[in-house]
Amino acid sequence: MKTIVIAIGGNSLIKDAKHMSVPDQYAAVVETARHIADLVEKGFHVVITHGNGPQVGFILLRSEHSRGLLHPVPLDSIGADTQGALGYQIQQALGNEFRRRGLKKLAASVVTQTLVDRNDPAFAKPSKPIGQFYTRKEAEERMRVEQWTMVEDAGRGWRRVVASPKPLRIIEADVVKKLVKDGYVVIAAGGGGIPVTADEQGNLSGAAAVIDKDLASAVLAKEIAADLLVISTAVEKVCLNFGKPGQRALDSMTITEARQYISEGHFQPGSMLPKIQACVQFLENGGREALITTPEVLPAALSGKTGTRIVP
């Protein structure tokens, strides 16, 4: 039976500005769990990865408000915190859904580390904005006291930026593979995994960085020899000229076509671009097929009725 890695976005768990609380996020998780349970019921082995951008932002904001009262939380620990919290919600929602359907399945979350190169050029040029906006005066103080790198963001204020290094290896990939083989639905590599670097002896330590969860999902999919990488997003199909005259939805594309569309600027950085790049990376490393679509149509997309397929 096929093994599928499904990447769901952290933003997809927040419907709108009025539904950002933990119960609201759990309600969104319950919805997604139903679509994933459909696949499990069909006999697929499923590994779930997830984003954590908004959730990391919430923790950073709480840390800001408790400034002077409590110690700050390092970014790698925040990544671990969100993996635990979101993993707990996903595994609980899946467990309840399996029980409702009479499926004898268990879901398990794995706190996952992702190896990055400590000499990755991204560390010299932090570019990923995180957390809240600050005034110039506040930003200057953070840069001086916290040694943060901060940038002015399109007239909206100043934000902290951190490195977004390339994921090289999922440390717990063998654990995930073993759990899948034993029949578990696994939640892993949340938020792209906790970025870690290795010293000469192979000892790991956390890094103040953020890893793209789609690229990390592609690495995990390769390492567990998944048959299919599914990237869940807000649109049913990938479009050329998205939001412009001449918008065209794609049923499929090859690696060569994907590269051409990237060079023509069809996909936006921080939006569709990393998703396409992750699919291409997975296929270049031996993957058979990738799929981009919304959670609601996952079963139909896997049957070839919708979604955008990327093939070698």
Which residues are identified as catalytic?
A: 10-11, 128, 213, 275
Contact assessment for residue 46 and residue 98, using Cβ atoms and an 8 Å cutoff = no
Bridge partner list, 232:
293
Contact assessment for residue 192 and residue 29, using Cβ atoms and an 8 Å cutoff = no
C-alpha dist (Å) from residue 265 to 82, 230, 260: 33, 23, 9
Residue 235 burial (10 A CB sphere; 0-12, 13-18, 19+): middle
Number of H helices, E strands in the chain: 9, 17
Q: Which amino acid is at 108?
A: A
C-alpha dist (Å) from residue 104 to 96, 124, 180, 196, 239: 11, 49, 14, 35, 39
The token pair at 159 is 């934000």
Q: Which amino acid is at 214?
A: D
